[in-house]
Structure 1
Amino acid sequence: MPKRSAASGLFADIKNDMVAMAGEFVGTVLFLMFALGAVQLTAAAQPAAGAGTQAAGDASGKIIAAFYVSAAFGISLFAFASVFFRATGSIFNPSVSLALVLTGVIKPLRFVLVSLAQMVGGIVAAAIVDGLTPGKLQAGVALSNGTSRTQGVFIEMFTTAGLVIAVLMLAAEKSNMTPLAPISLGFTLFAVMMFSVQFTGGAVNTARAFGPACIAGFDDYHWIYWVGPTLGALLATAFYVFLKYVHYWRVNPGADSTEEEGSPMQEV
């Protein structure tokens, strides 16, 4: 079999990167369009609210709205991550892309291309929701309930770290759990947003915050949604590197095995 030349190999890599870029753009648009549409619905149902992700009204109404928005994002991520998982890895998030390039899962060129696709996808998704729904776009993120900017940064950092470590351990790491990664990531996003949505709007994704801001305007603390998720990606990456360094798979060997021989008390 003839060896592949360096030029043909480079061309194939660039072609694959462009396909990944296109897939990430479409996937991000679909993921965020339906999720942001749910936020817009929540805002329409409670016109006294500010940003759509922060609910107005009594305590029960806020809890229901937080649950609804968080579930919408989690289910949308599960749905479209399942569709694009084999094609692009279903990243849909520049912070996840950052963690993947730092751990060597993707190369720098793909990181730049898919991150650009995700940011543009966020803008397009917000523009579609703005065009298809009545009234002004209210699907952005904002600090609320007395959350300070410092608190906002750390909330976004820890929630993003939770999502990124899930991506690294369930999708980047290959095991029997890998085929189930999309549903696991959907539940992870749902869980972290249940905490953050009423404090920061639950961005957990710079593209998610940036897209609506391009349509509806930027707050003077918009930088929170860049710094927080980036720090979260770095934190999760550092923890993942630590786990690999200590050979975590030796701590609980066979945890993902489906072989009956691995069960305890075989001779009883």
Structure 2
Amino acid sequence: MSARPHRSAWSSGALLADFRQDCKAAALEFVGTTFFLLLGLGGIQAGAQEALVNSSNLNEQVRVLYISTCMGLSLLISAWLFYRVTGGLFNPNVGLALLLVGVIKPVRFMLFSIAQLAGGIAASALILALTPGPLSVGTFLGTGINSAQGVFIEMFITSALVVAVLMLAAEKHAAAPFAPVGIGLTLFACHLWAVFYTGAAMNTARSFGPAAVTGFTYRKHWVYWVGPFLGSLLGAAFYILLKYMKYQELNPAQASTKPEDSPSTPGGE
């Protein structure tokens, strides 16, 4: 009897071994992405229209805080709801980082990316259909910000989000079930910096949805593909560096829940 030929991990059979499960997960990832962006972008749309209807002149700091809260809380809630279902990625740039470090496989990454982009379109279309007035949730570079600055701002904030996902969710530890809280707060903090300058996308699906619904009228939309893509690479590279440095050994008791790992009584025996 002849030996069974060895299958490479990249062979078509190996890649499609979990195809049915991947399709199910992608369908639910579409629902999760739509839910996340419907809440987050819906809040931004409501804020923009409230300001227009009431002719209010909110200062820029209040506007930035409002947008940051909408997106940060939306991700926290949505990721927590879908955490045990699909992982709650809602972001092809997070998916790319997970692919690079080996958490998900290529087929799931591709299906998830399609689902997330479609979710961005669905959420934006629903907001446009359910609210009066023009869609006011697109991402644009701020006054005085050139394309290179926009790319690098998006790169750095995306890398921060990627590192948060990898360290809080992909890495297993006592606080892993609460990862959505830290990830949502990371999104909130990144928005506080970047909303005024780039709109703080850090997620190509978040920018792609409104752009697709409004007809891609913004010439620099490519910034929101290049910047987050580079952020995925940077965040994944930093995580891989931490793994090679065996970061767990640098402060080994930090995640401990054992009372004996607590500091001893000062001056005691």
Greater displacement, 14-23 / 258-267: 258-267
**Per-residue deviation at 1:145?**
2.9
Residue 51 of structure 1: aligned partner: none
3-state SS in 1 of match to 2:182: helix
Structure 1 unmatched runs, 5+: 1-5, 49-55
Distance 2:114 2:144 in 1: 33
Residue 225 of structure 1 aligns with an amino acid whose one-letter code is Y
Q: RMSD over aligned Cα, in angstroms?
A: 2.0
Report how many aligned residue pairs link the two structures.
Answer: 254
Residue 38 of structure 1: aligned partner: 43
Residue 143 of structure 2: aligned partner: 145
**In structure 2, which of residues 17, 24, 34 is the aligned counterpart of residue 19 of structure 1?**
24
Residues 15, 105 of structure 2: 8 Å contact kept: no
Residue 4 of structure 2: aligned partner: none
**Per-residue deviation at 1:75?**
0.5
Residue 222 of structure 1: aligned partner: 221
Whether 2:106 is the aligned partner of 1:105: answer no
Residue 244 of structure 2: aligned partner: 245
Residues 147, 199 of structure 1: 8 Å contact kept: yes
Distance 1:34 1:166 in 2: 21
Residues 16, 107 of structure 2: 8 Å contact kept: no
Residues 33, 120 of structure 2: 8 Å contact kept: yes
Please say which structure displays the higher CA radius of gyration: 2
Residue 29 of structure 1: aligned partner: 34
For residues 172-224 of structure 1, give each alpha carbon's deviation from its aligned partner in whole angstroms, at most 9, with x where no partner exists.
00011211101111100000011000110111100000000011232111000
Residue 122 of structure 1: aligned partner: 120
Distance 1:105 1:165 in 2: 14
In the TM superposition, what are the counterparts of 1:45-84 in structure 2 within 5 Å? 45-47=50-52, 57=57, 61-84=59-82
* Pair 1:231–1:9, CA change in 2 (3 A): closer
3-state SS in 2 of match to 1:32: helix
Residue 42 of structure 1 aligns with an amino acid whose one-letter code is G
Residue 182 of structure 2: aligned partner: 184
3-state SS in 2 of match to 1:31: helix
Distance 1:19 1:65 in 2: 38
Distance 2:16 2:212 in 1: 34
Residue 118 of structure 2 aligns with an amino acid whose one-letter code is V
Residue 238 of structure 1 aligns with an amino acid whose one-letter code is A
3-state SS in 2 of match to 1:199: helix
Distance 1:123 1:190 in 2: 22
Distance 1:10 1:189 in 2: 32
Percent identity for Structure 1 against Structure 2: 50
Residues 31, 119 of structure 2: 8 Å contact kept: yes
Distance 1:154 1:9 in 2: 37
Whether 2:99 is the aligned partner of 1:87: answer no
* Pair 1:213–1:9, CA change in 2 (3 A): closer
**In structure 1, which of residues 151, 156, 159 is the aligned counterpart of residue 157 of structure 2?**
159
What TM-score do the two structures reach when normalised by structure 2?
0.90
What TM-score do the two structures reach when normalised by structure 1?
0.90
